[in-house]
């Protein structure tokens, strides 16, 4: 559960832009990060708040940020009690961000805040999400760039939303589109696909990317398995979030057809007097029929849960609402 740190009285205002920065064990980078943000904000012409989210850091990151924001109007720190991952940190930042536009960026100084005005200018053209594309990415080829290229193509193929760089944190969103979404696991990387399902107009643009010179990267090849698992969930959410019974219904229908086919084949074997399938086919029939019942009732149960939760509309549906007139 997020806690606001420090607990200082602040005047509530609604900024035009909220910059949300997840932080995990970035102590070596923080001095340069604050200096970079200060230089940027001195020339930035929109009212801005900066939300730094400490994701359960075990170094001095939280203490440094807490001390820094005491003298910086418009800055605040949100602290998670334990390390929950980048998606949870971003979700916590979304909860407290008040801006009309939400911009996410990394704390490792590889993203350049000077790209933010260009993202916002593109957003002003009528888009709801502008995704950064690290075309000249300054990371290791084998462990970072190659897996990222493969993942981007697979995600685009599965979701139907083709973006060059799903993994780039630097993105600008309209708050009305991204705030209603329920983020968990590693779903932050799928936000362009989720927002597109909500009817958002999504585009991308090339952004700067600097080599990491301070601290250590927190990502490796082990995240591939998480991405694959989350991608299956995202596909289901995008397609069946309001009626999960349709998803499970298709699976149960497949097993019902297998049951009918196996039963027909068994009947034919008996009519012809063959003995080879008299033991195996009944077992296959029972297995397929039980699978049919299992997925059917799973679908009915999932459908019931969606309605009993009382949300009225799914996260995707809530994000799709746009105010036309008042």
Check whether 10 has a pLDDT greater than 60.
Answer: no
The answer to whether 187 touches 194, Cβ cutoff 8 Å, is yes
Q: How many domains does the chain have?
A: 2
Q: Domain end: 218, 240, 262, which one?
A: 240
Assess if residue 79 is contained within a domain.
yes
Q: What share of the chain in percent tops pLDDT 70? A: 82
What would the pLDDT profile of 180-209 be if each residue is shown by its tens digit? 888 877 788 889 988 988 889 999 999 999
Residue 226 sits in the same domain as residue 311: no
State whether 54 and 178 are in the same domain: yes
> Residue 288 and residue 252: Cα distance in Å, rounded?
9
Q: Do residue 19 and residue 146 come from a single domain?
A: yes
Domain final residue pick, 200, 216, 240: 240
Distance CA 185, CA 37 (A): 29
Q: Where residue 138 falls among pLDDT bands split at 50, 70, 90?
A: confident
Residue 221 and residue 252 in one domain: no
Confidence of residue 136 (pLDDT cuts 50, 70, 90): confident
Q: 209 is in which domain, residue-wise?
A: 3-240
Specify whether 40 is located in the same domain as 188.
yes
Q: Can you spell out the DSSP letters for 200-259?
A: --EEEEE---PPP-SS-----TTHHHHHHHHHHHHHHHHHHSS-HHHHHHHHHHHHHHHH
Tell whether 111 and 144 lie within a shared domain.
yes
Q: Do residues 231 and 267 both lie within one domain?
A: no
The model's pTM: 0.75
**Segment 148-161 mean pLDDT:** 86
- Residue 144 to residue 158: CA distance in whole angstroms: 21
Same domain, 66 and 115: yes
Any domain includes 326: no
For 60-113, how does the pLDDT look when each residue is reduced to its tens digit (9 = 90+)?
999 999 999 998 989 999 999 998 888 999 999 999 999 999 999 999 989 999
Instruction: Return all residues near 300 (Cβ < 8 A) that are at least 6 apart.
Output: 245
Helices of type H across 130-190 = 146-159, 175-178
Residue 141, pLDDT score: 65
Q: Residue 263: pLDDT above 60?
A: yes
Q: Determine the Cα–Cα distance for residues 149 and 189; give it in Å rounded to an integer.
A: 13
Same domain, 129 and 160: yes
Domain check: are 257 and 212 in the same one?
A: no
Query: Is the same domain home to 250 and 183?
Result: no
Among residues 214, 240, 266, the one where a domain terminates is 240
Is residue 321 predicted with pLDDT exceeding 60? no
* CATH code: domain of residue 39: 3.90.550.10
- Residue 45 has what pLDDT? 92
């Amino acid at each position: 559960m997020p806690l606001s740190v420090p607990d200082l009285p602040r005047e509530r205002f609604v900024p035009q832009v909220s910059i949300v920065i997840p932080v995990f064990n970035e102590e070596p980078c923080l001095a340069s990060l604050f200096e970079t943000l200060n230089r940027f904000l001195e020339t930035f012409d929109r009212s801005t708040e900066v939300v730094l989210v400490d994701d359960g850091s075990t170094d001095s990151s939280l203490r440094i940020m807490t001390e820094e924001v005491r003298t910086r109007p418009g800055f605040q720190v949100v602290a998670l009690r334990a390390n929950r991952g980048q998606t949870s940190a971003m979700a916590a930042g979304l909860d407290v961000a008040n801006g009309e536009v939400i911009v996410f960026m990394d704390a490792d100084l590889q993203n350049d805040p000077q790209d933010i005005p260009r993202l916002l200018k593109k957003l002003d053209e009528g888009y709801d999400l502008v995704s950064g594309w690290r075309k000249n990415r300054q990371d290791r080829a084998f462990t970072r760039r190659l897996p990222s290229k493969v993942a981007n193509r697979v995600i685009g193929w599965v979701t139907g939303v083709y973006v060059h760089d799903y993994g780039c944190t630097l993105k600008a969103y309209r708050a009305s589109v991204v705030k209603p979404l329920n983020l968990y696991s590693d779903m932050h990387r799928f936000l362009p696909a989720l927002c597109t399902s909500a009817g958002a107009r999504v585009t991308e643009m090339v952004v700067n990317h600097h080599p990491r010179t301070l601290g250590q990267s927190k990502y490796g090849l082990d995240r591939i398995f998480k991405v694959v698992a989350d991608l299956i969930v995202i596909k289901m959410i995008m397609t069946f979030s309001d009626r999960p019974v349709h998803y499970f219904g298709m699976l149960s229908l497949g097993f019902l057809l297998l049951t009918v086919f196996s039963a027909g084949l068994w009947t034919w074997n008996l009519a012809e007097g063959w003995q080879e399938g008299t033991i195996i086919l009944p077992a296959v029939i029972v297995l397929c029929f039980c699978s049919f019942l299992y997925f059917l009732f799973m679908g009915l149960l999932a459908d019931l849960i969606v309605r009993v939760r009382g949300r009225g509309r799914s996260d995707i549906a809530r994000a799709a609402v746009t105010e036309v007139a008042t």
